[in-house]
Amino acid sequence: MKVTQQTALKNRNSLSLPARCQRLIEIENRSDFNDLPALIKANEPVHILGGGSNTVLTQSHLPHTVITQTPPETAEQGITLEGELVLVDAGAPWPEMVHWAVNHGLGGIENLAAIPGSCGAAPIQNIGAYGVELKDVLEWVEIFDWRLGRFFTVNNAQCQFGYRNSYFKRHPEKPWIITRLAMRLRSDSPLRLHYSGVRETLIHLGHQPETASYAQVAQAITTLRAQKLPNPAILPNAGSFFKNPVISDAHYAALKHNFPALPHWPQEHGGHKISAAWLIQRLGLQNIRVGDAGFYRKHALIVVNYGQASGADVLALARYVITRVQKATDITLEVEPVCLPETI
């Protein structure tokens, strides 16, 4: 375990926002968890930071103790097989987990290739892409409670997964840190290629969709993501910034009069999912900047740091866009990443 004070976090968040935390605790091995109860005081503000790819540090100083988990040196070191389940340490990078699975002929998460961040952050957000969500394969999550000083598991149903949501995300006050995930990945898992562009990209890469391997699908997904999303190492960003809102049938019918070309996806239990990116573009908001915070030119859902953006810049940009969309459509956009310490 490594503990430092007044630690810079600029290199620990993918938006590259300047911030310092009161204290940083780095978990380096499993036995370190047992030391947390003695280190964390009652009512002390604590934040669990994974890869920092889904976090917006909205102020320059966080009065928090931030806890991170050092990733294993190789993917194999963080992954174990237990019967039909694949167990992975929370500190392992998610892209490496997908790479390991598809190269071992195991399917179920190939559509989630190239999503940045740690495995421990994946269930908090219920990461999803190209028609697949983590909840589709997750069996259980192991948690360490630093108040009680013990490990326990939470099953899929107890995670209360929703669209980019979970029990963990709704209850950040819990004294919990995710330590491991268990997923049921299968060698006969059916391919899910219905999402726009997946089949076409497979063919472009020289693969037949009907006989594609999990590794080939992951390659196609990685290619698609690279075409749409900026590399955080080159242009700092936190991925999709706003959720696609789900509205009622009546609300959609009313909107359609003013926005006849509005993209929508009917939902299984009623309502319509609406494209937040389309609304932002349609209302002429994609080119707006606050300081160096602005939207990516190729995708109106991606907020990027064009240079020296601060958390306050990102906060102001998001609030302005939310207000404009609300006034024009009566839709309140929800922010996808975790904002700390000030929420939007």
**Catalytic status, residue 210:** no
**Catalytic status, residue 44:** no
How do beta strands 61-69 and 85-89 pair? Answer: unpaired
Residue appearing with tokens 């990945």 = 185
**Is the separation of the CB atoms in 115 and 130 below 8 Å?**
no
Amino acid at 3: V
Angstrom CA distances, 294 to 9, 243, 309, 315, 341, stand at 21, 17, 9, 11, 21
Give the other-Cβ count within 10 Å of 27's Cβ: 22
Residue 318, token pair as written in the block = 């998001």
Task: Find the catalytic residue in 12, 23, 164, 180.
Answer: 164
Spatial distance between the Cα atoms of 176 and 126, rounded to a whole number of angstroms: 17
**Is the separation of the CB atoms in 20 and 61 below 8 Å?**
yes
Task: Find the catalytic residue in 96, 110, 133, 336.
Answer: 336
The DSSP element (H or E) to which 48 belongs, if any, is strand 46-48
The DSSP element (H or E) to which 302 belongs, if any, is strand 299-305
The contacts of residue 117 (CB under 8 Å, 6+ apart) are 50, 51, 52, 53, 54, 93, 94, 125, 127
Task: Find the catalytic residue in 14, 189, 240, 310.
Answer: 240
Sign of torsion over alpha carbons 246, 249, 250, 253: positive
Instruction: Write the DSSP string, 93-149.
Output: BHHHHHHHHHHTT-BSSGGGTT--SBTTTHHHHT-EETTEEGGGTEEEEEEEETTTT
Active site residues: 164, 240, 336
